[in-house]
Amino acid sequence: MKFKDLQNKTKEDLQKLLQEERDKLRDLRFKDSNKQLKNVKEIKATRASIAQILTKLKQITLDKE
């Protein structure tokens, strides 16, 4: 997911997306620990996506103040 894709989302949408990405990361970590994950780069990409969502949520919070 690109950061510019997050620009038009509401705070509620971002929070829902954040929860989905965190669940995905947890599942990827379980698969990795069980040697079932074929593409370990997915973990890094998911972590980056989470960071982008958190950044956008922080921007929304700061803009309202």
Give the residue numbers spanning the domain of 39.
3-64
Each residue of 9-28: pLDDT tens digit? 999 999 999 999 999 999 99
Each residue of 33-58: pLDDT tens digit? 999 999 999 999 999 999 999 999 99
Q: Residue 41: which CATH number?
A: 1.10.287
Q: How far apart are CA 40 and CA 56, in angstroms?
A: 26
Q: How many CB atoms lie within 10 A of CB 7?
A: 9
Confidence of residue 1 (pLDDT cuts 50, 70, 90): low
Number of domains in the chain: 1
Q: Cβ(18)–Cβ(51) under 8 Å?
A: no
